[in-house]
Structure 1
Amino acid sequence: MAQLRIALAQIDTCVGDLEANTCAVVEWARRAADAGADLVVFPEMTVTGYPIEDLALRASFRRGAEAALVRTAGELVAAGLGDLAVLVGTVGEKTTQEHAGAPARPTNQAVLLQHGSVQARYDKHHLPNYGVFDEFRIFTPGDTACVLDIRGRRVGVVICEDIWQDGGPVSQLAADGIDLLVVLNGSPFEEGKGHLRTDLAARRAREVRAPLAYVNMVGGQDDLVFDGGSFVVTDDGTVVARAPQFVEHLLVWDLATDGGPARTAEIAPALDADEEIYRAIVTGLTGYARKNGFTSVVLGLSGGIDSALVAAISADAFGGKNVVGVSLPSRYSSDHSKDDAADLAQRIGADYRVQPIAPMVDAFEGQLGLEGVAAENLQARVRGMILMALSNAEGHLVLATGNKSELAVGYSTIYGDAVGGYAPLKDVDKSRVWALSRWRNRAAVDAGQIPPIPESSITKPPSAELRPGQVDQDSLPPYDLLDEVLDAYVENAEGRAELLARGFDPAVVDKVLSLVDRAEWKRRQYPVGPKVTALAFGRDRRLPITTRWREP
């Protein structure tokens, strides 16, 4: 048997940009051919981008994707790549036997392009319908396994969820016998998921008694982040090749001649947990901004830890000169907060501006006579109005700087600090905000650079500074305790009884649960942000806004 060289092209695509996506297929196919590959495998739904959600239900979109696919087959030949086997994901369609005569339904499809035409198609068998996935609504499942003959080697093809479920095409391929199993994936990032993927892939490789090559997409798409991390495992579960995370990459690996020893290719080192989360957020922000036409961002710089971390993330994503940081001091803003904001801006090279809000707040209060919380919220809303005005005038993407802990308990002002087009820390609790900030500063020191975040922003007590002497702990439990309760209630769906059984103070439990339950309406109106944990607010957690259920 001939040696087979496989290239896994983990690339960044954009939903609906059929021309750019297919141009990328040709470009990366050329790189694969230059590397001597016989087969290049692209991620799930490469032609269309992923996830396409209800775009799949539009026949016009499916026709456009098919036309782009056929055109790509011709362009590969024109580029001298006609002999290269190119396996690529797209949206297909079919009419099921039980609905004969009905309009065709969309399918999640893998297609082999070679010699200028479509050589084979495979429709995804298992459809995920949990967490961020709702594919029962969109796609029609496939019903057969797919085996390709590539240079005399039997290559089985499945798509993403097919390996997460027992039975189906993997079992059929195990019975039929194959030399290699390739898996096309659009697997979103969440902390700790990498180990789950490799463990599962190892199990499936042992099941089919053949190596498994797993290619995953990379980049940000709305609230999802795809981390790449493509890899190959042998039939005994050993990882013999792994691509880096959060970057486009071509991973090349050789399937040895029959009976020969498994070859080892590059194995990218695993990332530290905090670095992984940080890079996921940078990737999500970069993808969202770029794919929606933004090249710069604007945010309020309070001198606190949340805005400091978001500013550092933004500088890593766009370069400091494309970060507009605005200090918006009120009569209650402390000198140290204003100094920390200016210090941060200088460290990252931001476009730093100061816009006092007192005259505008005074004008509103002179007309409305507001007091208490209403007056505090007015300050936040004036700040939000200024940031949105700068966005309108100069074309920046406004970033909301709140974190998951605040979002959980409603500790934000709707139409105030909650304004924006994107919220980088939406799925990062307050305790992790501090950890990420410390990691980023350590990384800078290790690289011989100036730490981007002032130490005082990390160490001082958090405060919204909306009234004299205010600190967050006036209204909330200490964040380490708050995050522990939120993790149990939100992430693990534990009720009041379970929380009390674990020893939490009843007063703390009752306060936190009440705050969380009452804040659902705010969360629904909060900007989109990158999912980095197993359960993010949004698609993962769907609760009614209007409900009278309270934990007994």
Structure 2
Amino acid sequence: MSKDTTTTNLTAENPAGENTIIPKAVTFALAQSHFLVGDITANADKMRQLAIEARGQGADVIIFPELALLGYPPQDLLLRPSLSGRVKSALSALSDIEDIVMIVGYPHVDHHGTFNSAAILHNGHQKGFYHKQFLPNYGVFDERRYFDKGRNQVLFDYKGITIGLLICEDLWEKTPISDLKQQGADLIVCLNASPFETDKQDTRKAMLAKRSSEHKLPIVYVNAVGGQDDLVFDGGSMVTQADGTIAHEASRFLDQLMLTTLDVETLKFDSQAKAPLSLSRESEMYQALVVGLRDYVNHSGFTGVIIGLSGGIDSALTLCIAVDALGSDKVYAVMMPYEYTSKISLEDAQAQARRLNVSYTVCPIFDAVEGIRHTLAPLFNQSPADTTEENIQARARGVILMALSNKFGHLVLTTGNKSELAVGYSTLYGDMAGGFDVLKDVYKSQVYNLASYRNRLEDTPVIPERVITRPPSAELRPDQKDQDSLPDYEVLDGILSLYIDEDMGYQDIIDKGFDAAMVGKIIKMVDNSEYKRLQAPIGTKISHKAFGRERRYPLVNKWSVEG
């Protein structure tokens, strides 16, 4: 199907017939901000405020992220029958903003279908719109479920330059920017809702540099920021010169209104006075976890969070992230010892709580566990003890935490990591009981790295050193160690990352140097634990492939380990 090109001219009419003076520069404002899913009226109000602020700072054009009016990803909200009316009303409410062009991401609904679109608003009128052409349908994206494919190229002339519009995935494909270049674009504006994963910003920079330099086009790239369910949008909006170099880069994980000025004659942007701090891998991972938890708790309406503090490294790191996300006054820690809980664990849990200044309570579970065992004794009929009795301890703790949540309105944070969740080293309705798993997408080896990173941020460590150095244990039986049931975490995580994140099969993983028997055992454990993961709470995605919306396997299947 051939593609049409729509061109809009935003130059004001001159009834006096005088010669129009073309300005020498155009200033763009990149509105890197958090727009909450479904809150259309509040999102429009935020756009209004940002547009007025940008205009006051001399901006000619303000650009908002992809689908900012509705928030991203809106999922089945796009199927609500009242969507079209709400969107039209919100766009109409922006019609009194003058003297600045607004490029607004929104869902466009008409008799042709539903589109992921960008509206061009100027002096009370919608001058045009662009429909996204390439709809991602992989990983966390399922846009083909909701949107129809756009067909037209859209350019608009403004103050002497021709601007082409793209939306997110369009820029990752070769043809849309090439078509705009052929149609005479001087500049590309791209609206994005690109979620975080480790090293993603470097990938974006490489892609933008390639697209700019290939077509000799400067690019204004605006990204969303903030947490939405299990996703975090990390900002990092950018402006590239036509040769691919970065002229401006916004901060990561923070709201920012970034202004940049284009010289109309040279088509070059001014240079940023001071670039944002570069983040290490641990730093960006930690910030993503903080933002993901902060926005989930605050936007869900919880008054605080409650954590079962064990004295181990997983709950210690979870506690740190919770305090950094919400403040110590909104974090409540409960230590629930049993007869196998070591004195060291009690001491370390108390030390962590005191160091971070959180509410801390010790609630022994001996009576609860013994009561359940007594109730079950006639039913078990003198069967030998096994992991069932161990799991009663975890489930007793889950009952206590959920009761406290029910009574006081705090969200229970679970503390399981990706390694444990992968192989099923967790108790359903026990330590998996809760509403949000902060470390769900963090392998155990990464937990250690993040704990050490957090300790380096302050003169006095927030996590006691021996919590990091002593062998991990669930403490559900005497002298229990994780490595009694699992290989060393470096080996385990190596196998898991290849199988889960890289989608490698049995033989391919063995070819990487891992023991065949161990690979087969681990893969079976992963596959057999799918039913647990389906019932696990959500947690922030930070990896290339997290458990949840982008990794979906049937619970009942006969796929062999060697497949």
Same fold (TM over 0.5): yes
Deviation at 1:461, TM superposition (A): 0.6
2:15 corresponds in structure 1 to none
Letter in 1 for 2:178: S
1:310 corresponds in structure 2 to 318
Return the alpha-carbon distance in structure 1 between the equivalents of residues 122 and 509 of structure 2.
59
TM-score normalised to structure 1 length? 0.95
**Residue 532 (str. 1) matches residue 542 (str. 2):** yes
Aligned pairs for 1:311-390 (under 5 A) are: 311-369=319-377, 371-390=385-404
SS at match of 2:419: helix
Aligned pairs for 1:81-96 (under 5 A) are: 82-96=98-112
Letter in 2 for 1:228: G
Return the alpha-carbon distance in structure 1 between the equivalents of residues 173 and 416 of structure 2.
37
SS at match of 2:414: coil
1:423 corresponds in structure 2 to 437
Letter in 1 for 2:51: A
* Change in CA separation of 1:146 and 1:352 when aligned onto 2, cut-off 3 Å: same
1:191·1:534 contact (CA, 8 Å) conserved in 2?
yes
Query: Which ranges in structure 2 are unaligned for 5 or more consecutive residues?
Result: 1-21
2:218·2:268 contact (CA, 8 Å) conserved in 1?
no
Letter in 2 for 1:225: V
Return the alpha-carbon distance in structure 2 between the equivalents of residues 192 and 248 of structure 1.
20
Aligned pairs for 1:255-270 (under 5 A) are: 255-259=262-266, 261-265=268-272, 266-270=274-278
Letter in 2 for 1:46: A
Cα deviation per residue 1:5-37 (whole Å; 9 max; x = unaligned)?
A: 001010011110112111111111122112210
1:160·1:185 contact (CA, 8 Å) conserved in 2?
yes
Deviation at 1:260, TM superposition (A): 6.3
1:326·1:353 contact (CA, 8 Å) conserved in 2?
yes
1:456 corresponds in structure 2 to 466
1:190 corresponds in structure 2 to 197
Return the alpha-carbon distance in structure 2 between the equivalents of residues 471 and 315 of structure 1.
28
2:477 corresponds in structure 1 to 467
Out of 37, 50, 55, which is 1:33 matched to? 55
Cα deviation per residue 1:135-175 (whole Å; 9 max; x = unaligned)?
A: 111101111111122222211111001011121x3222110
2:28 corresponds in structure 1 to 6
2:11 corresponds in structure 1 to none
1:57·1:106 contact (CA, 8 Å) conserved in 2?
no
Aligned pairs for 1:229-268 (under 5 A) are: 229-259=236-266, 261-265=268-272, 266-268=274-276
Deviation at 1:202, TM superposition (A): 1.7
Segment of structure 1 superposing worse, 136-145 or 150-159: 150-159
Deviation at 1:490, TM superposition (A): 1.2
Deviation at 1:367, TM superposition (A): 1.1
Deviation at 1:444, TM superposition (A): 1.8
SS at match of 1:136: helix
**Residue 434 (str. 1) matches residue 455 (str. 2):** no
Deviation at 1:85, TM superposition (A): 0.6
2:533 corresponds in structure 1 to 523
Deviation at 1:83, TM superposition (A): 1.1
Segment of structure 1 superposing worse, 496-505 or 538-547: 496-505
* Change in CA separation of 1:260 and 1:548 when aligned onto 2, cut-off 3 Å: closer
Out of 475, 488, 493, which is 1:483 matched to? 493
1:181·1:205 contact (CA, 8 Å) conserved in 2?
no
1:277 corresponds in structure 2 to 285
SS at match of 1:141: coil
Segment of structure 1 superposing worse, 309-318 or 532-541: 532-541
Deviation at 1:259, TM superposition (A): 2.1
2:229·2:296 contact (CA, 8 Å) conserved in 1?
yes
* Change in CA separation of 1:262 and 1:109 when aligned onto 2, cut-off 3 Å: closer
Out of 142, 146, 154, which is 2:162 matched to? 154
Please give the root-mean-square deviation of Cα atoms over the aligned residues, in Å.
Answer: 1.2
Out of 388, 396, 401, which is 2:415 matched to? 401
Letter in 2 for 1:409: V
Return the alpha-carbon distance in structure 1 between the equivalents of residues 29 and 525 of structure 2.
51
SS at match of 2:103: strand
Segment of structure 1 superposing worse, 146-155 or 180-189: 146-155
**Residue 60 (str. 1) matches residue 82 (str. 2):** yes
SS at match of 2:298: helix
1:107·1:141 contact (CA, 8 Å) conserved in 2?
yes
Out of 31, 47, 62, which is 2:69 matched to? 47
Return the alpha-carbon distance in structure 2 between the equivalents of residues 251 and 502 of structure 1.
45
2:223 corresponds in structure 1 to 216
Return the alpha-carbon distance in structure 2 between the equivalents of residues 532 and 35 of structure 1.
35
2:107·2:116 contact (CA, 8 Å) conserved in 1?
yes
Letter in 1 for 2:195: P
Deviation at 1:261, TM superposition (A): 5.0
Deviation at 1:195, TM superposition (A): 1.3
| Identity %, equivalent residues | 45
Cα deviation per residue 1:480-516 (whole Å; 9 max; x = unaligned)?
A: 1000011111111222222222221222112111110
Letter in 2 for 1:90: Y
Out of 288, 293, 297, which is 2:305 matched to? 297
Cα deviation per residue 1:174-220 (whole Å; 9 max; x = unaligned)?
A: 10122221100000000011111111112222344221010000000
2:55·2:99 contact (CA, 8 Å) conserved in 1?
no
Return the alpha-carbon distance in structure 1 between the equivalents of residues 158 and 336 of structure 2.
62
2:212·2:241 contact (CA, 8 Å) conserved in 1?
yes
Return the alpha-carbon distance in structure 2 between the equivalents of residues 110 and 4 of structure 1.
20
1:201 corresponds in structure 2 to 208
Letter in 2 for 1:381: R
Out of 527, 544, 549, which is 2:559 matched to? 549
2:191·2:223 contact (CA, 8 Å) conserved in 1?
yes
Return the alpha-carbon distance in structure 2 between the equivalents of residues 407 and 508 of structure 1.
18
Letter in 1 for 2:271: T
Deviation at 1:257, TM superposition (A): 2.9
1:213·1:233 contact (CA, 8 Å) conserved in 2?
yes
**Residue 503 (str. 1) matches residue 510 (str. 2):** no
Return the alpha-carbon distance in structure 1 between the equivalents of residues 314 and 58 of structure 2.
48
SS at match of 1:91: strand
2:92 corresponds in structure 1 to 70
Letter in 2 for 1:479: Y
How many residues were matched structurally?
533
Return the alpha-carbon distance in structure 2 between the equivalents of residues 385 and 118 of structure 1.
55
Return the alpha-carbon distance in structure 1 between the equivalents of residues 29 and 487 of structure 2.
52
SS at match of 2:95: helix
Return the alpha-carbon distance in structure 2 between the equivalents of residues 307 and 381 of structure 1.
17
2:120 corresponds in structure 1 to 112
TM-score normalised to structure 2 length? 0.93
SS at match of 1:118: strand
Return the alpha-carbon distance in structure 2 between the equivalents of residues 237 and 401 of structure 1.
43
Out of 438, 443, 464, which is 2:457 matched to? 443
* Change in CA separation of 1:85 and 1:73 when aligned onto 2, cut-off 3 Å: same
